[in-house]
């Protein structure tokens, strides 16, 4: 079967036929030069920090020519999670969710120094962002098109976009402004993203959210493949959405708990139920801290829930009901000292294994409210959780 031209549509009777078509060009790559903008410059306006920024990075990468997105029905639009909830929540609820996402993005940026991926990882774990999920592996797109969950239809869809054709609209010379940004979020501490060959696509325009199907910069370079669902179940992969092997897996819950500490009141039930239904629910696993010559934590060696369970036999998974009750209760919450602070007070040039329940001195790097937690220099002893 001949390949369709960009912008054209084609229908396949089976997933197997479509898989053969997509796999034929799946490994094509091209070389591009890029420069990552500073943290503040690449964030949507509502997420931009007011008082600080971090520089971007640059390099040369060999990237896939085609990116894919699978959808379990023929939807009229394809928009990011933040855009899809505008009509679901009230304005004050949306403001809280934006603050939650900003906290999540900040925690990733603090540890890994990468601006665009600091939105991509929270998006991957269920926080509402302006990023849209894509993949460089058509088999992953076929899985999400085949997904038998709520909202699936008799006709499923896979989109293929020619990244090489839109490279000037995504990667500007010397970091110049472009209407879109895209990045792979593969990472050694996020095996699920690696299994999914996960990418994110973000609009850099503040006036309207990205609509993948109808975006002017890319619409002529998208192919839409519709496919019958008769053999869809064969292409469902149960391993793709399992986060237990991710060293990042305990971070989303730590962010949500820290968010409650930040707003200093219970999380509204509707918001708590919504976000808990989307994120991985794992307690903090053991962490190895490496201290520099000043006794300051220079790096963290994270352990995934699966590896932690193999090591000590303890399950680090928790239940949605327990987390929701915790978030909506009047019981005060404390922020995560591992995500939002730097461990301090260690023996110079040493390492220490921190277990859940251990006490550790930290220096806060995020402006949690109230003394003595943060005044730009605050140190505090916290319980690792």
Total-model pTM: 0.87
Residue 183 structure tokens: 């990045």
pLDDT at 231: 94
* Burial call 162-201: b when 16+ CB within 10 Å, e when fewer: bbbebbebbbbeebeebbbbbbbbbbebbbbbbbbbbbbb
- pLDDT single digits (tens) 109-122: 877 767 778 889 99
pLDDT of residue 217: 86
How do residues 273-302 score in pLDDT, each as one tens digit?
Answer: 999 999 999 999 999 999 999 999 999 999
Q: Which residues on neighbouring strands pair with residue 199, listed in sequence order?
A: 134, 184
Q: What is the mean pLDDT of each run of 10 residues along the chain (385 residues)?
A: 49 95 94 74 71 76 92 93 93 96 89 78 94 96 88 88 92 78 90 96 83 89 94 93 96 96 95 97 96 93 96 96 98 91 93 94 86 74 89
Q: How far apart are the first and last CA of the chain?
A: 55
pLDDT for 116 equals 74
For the chain, what is the radius of gyration of the CA atoms? 22
Q: What is the dihedral of CA 169, 171, 175, 177, to 10 degrees?
A: 20
Question: What is the per-residue pLDDT for 44?
Answer: 65
374's CB contacts (< 8 A; 6+ apart) are: 364, 366, 367, 368
How many Cβ atoms from other residues are within 10 Å of residue 262's Cβ? 19
What integer pLDDT is reported at residue 174 of this predicted model? 63
Residue given tokens 């006794």 in the structure block: 295
Report phi then psi at 209, rounded to 5: -70, 160
Q: Say what the pLDDT of residue 376 is.
A: 62
Q: What pLDDT is recorded for position 242?
A: 95
pLDDT (tens digit, 9 = 90+) per residue, 13-23?
Answer: 999 999 999 99
Half-sphere exposure in the Cβ direction for 250 (13 Å, CA): 23
> Looking at residue 7, what is its pLDDT?
46
- Angle between helix 138-146 and 15-23 (nearest 10): 160
> At how many degrees (to 10) do helices 320-328 and 251-263 cross?
20
Label residue 376 exposed, middle or buried (CB < 10 Å: 0-12, 13-18, 19+). Answer: exposed
Q: Which residues are within 8 A (CB) of 43 and not within 5 positions of it... i.e. 6 or more apart? A: 49, 105, 115, 119
């Amino acid at each position: 079967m001949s390949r369709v031209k960009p912008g054209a549509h084609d229908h396949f009777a089976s997933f197997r036929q479509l898989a053969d078509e997509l796999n034929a060009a799946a490994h094509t790559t091209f070389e591009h030069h890029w420069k990552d903008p500073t943290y503040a410059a690449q964030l949507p306006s509502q997420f931009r920090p007011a008082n600080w920024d971090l520089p971007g990075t640059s390099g040369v990468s060999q990237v896939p020519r085609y990116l894919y997105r699978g959808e379990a029905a023929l939807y009229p639009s394809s928009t990011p999670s933040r855009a899809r909830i505008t009509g679901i929540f009230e304005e004050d609820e949306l403001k809280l969710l934006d603050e939650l996402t900003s906290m999540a993005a900040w925690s990733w940026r603090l540890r890994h120094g990468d601006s665009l991926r600091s939105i991509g990882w929270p998006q991957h774990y269920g926080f509402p962002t302006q990023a849209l999920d894509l993949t460089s592996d058509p088999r992953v797109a076929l899985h999400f098109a085949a997904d038998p969950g709520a909202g699936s239809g008799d006709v499923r869809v896979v989109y293929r976009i020619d990244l090489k054709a839109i490279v000037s609209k995504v990667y500007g010379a010397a970091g110049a402004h472009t209407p879109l940004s895209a990045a792979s979020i593969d990472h050694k501490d996020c095996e699920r993203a690696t299994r999914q060959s996960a990418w994110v696509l973000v609009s850099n325009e503040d006036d309207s959210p990205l609509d993948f199907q109808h975006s002017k910069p890319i619409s002529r370079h998208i192919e839409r493949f519709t496919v019958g669902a008769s053999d869809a179940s064969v292409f469902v992969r149960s391993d793709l959405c399992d986060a237990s092997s991710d060293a990042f897996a305990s971070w989303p819950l730590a962010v949500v708990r820290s968010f409650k500490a930040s707003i200093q009141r219970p999380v509204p039930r509707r918001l708590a139920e919504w976000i808990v239904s989307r994120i991985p629910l794992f307690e903090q696993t053991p962490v190895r801290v490496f201290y520099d010559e000043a006794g300051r934590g220079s790096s963290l060696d994270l352990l995934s829930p699966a590896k932690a369970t193999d090591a000590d036999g303890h399950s680090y998974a928790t239940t949605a009901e327990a987390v929701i009750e915790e978030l909506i209760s009047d019981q005060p919450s404390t922020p995560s000292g591992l995500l939002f602070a730097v461990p301090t007070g260690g023996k110079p040039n040493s390492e220490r294994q921190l277990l859940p329940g251990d006490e550790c001195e930290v220096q806060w790097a995020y402006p949690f409210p109230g003394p003595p937690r943060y005044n730009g220099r605050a140190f505090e002893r916290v319980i690792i959780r």
